Amino acid sequence: ATNRTFTMIKPDGVENGHTGAILDKINAAGFRIVALKKTQMTTADAEAFYAVHNERPFFGELVEFMTRGPIIAAILEKDNAVEDFRTLIGATNPAEAAEGTIRKMYATSIGENAVHGSDSDENATIEGNFHFAGREQF
């Protein structure tokens, strides 16, 4: 069924000038843009968004990284959106990401890995609604 996922081009991807190329790859892969904006997360935003990771050793580093500069946030729509988007971006660690994936092409490390993709339909809804009001979703 047609459904949605949520993505962010992370601060490293924006800083390194990859916004246009990444959006092109998303478009070419057949995703429709439901919502899109450039924004910057506060520390409180990042702590809430990544609350599921708050016991992990890398949590502080993750919050620091995700708040250091602007991101591009987007809701995307396509058949099988969550799974197909995770295929498009590749493994969390760019060293393990398949050839041609967004992380293989644009990520620099497991922490600074260029893009986020929701891991379930339920989280896609939660994460999309975290960043966008209903009236911003088309």
**Residue 48, both tokens:** 């809430």
CB of 115 to ligand CMP, least distance (A): 7
Give the separation between CA 20 and CA 31, rounded to whole angstroms: 15
Site for ligand CMP in 18-77 (CB under 6 A): 53, 58, 61-62
| Choices 16-24, 31-39, 98-106, 108-116 (CB under 6 A): range interacting with ligand CMP | 108-116
Place of tokens 């924006």: 14
Q: Does 92 bind ligand CMP (CB under 6 A)?
A: yes
Whether the CB-CB separation of 38 and 71 falls below 8 Å is answered with: yes
Burial label for 91, CB within 10 Å (0-12, 13-18, 19+), is middle
116 counts as binding ligand CMP under rule CB under 6 A? yes
Answer for which of 35, 101, 113, 131 binds ligand CMP (CB under 6 A) is 113
Is 53 designated active site? no
Cα(120)–Cα(126) distance, rounded to whole angstroms?
Answer: 10
Find out whether 38 is annotated in a ligand binding site: no
Instruction: Give dist(CA 38, CA 78) in Å, integer.
Output: 22
Contacts with ligand CMP by CB under 6 A lie at 53, 58, 61-62, 92, 110-111, 113, 116
Q: Which residue positions form the known binding site for ATP?
A: 10, 58, 86, 92, 103, 113
Catalytic amino acids? 116
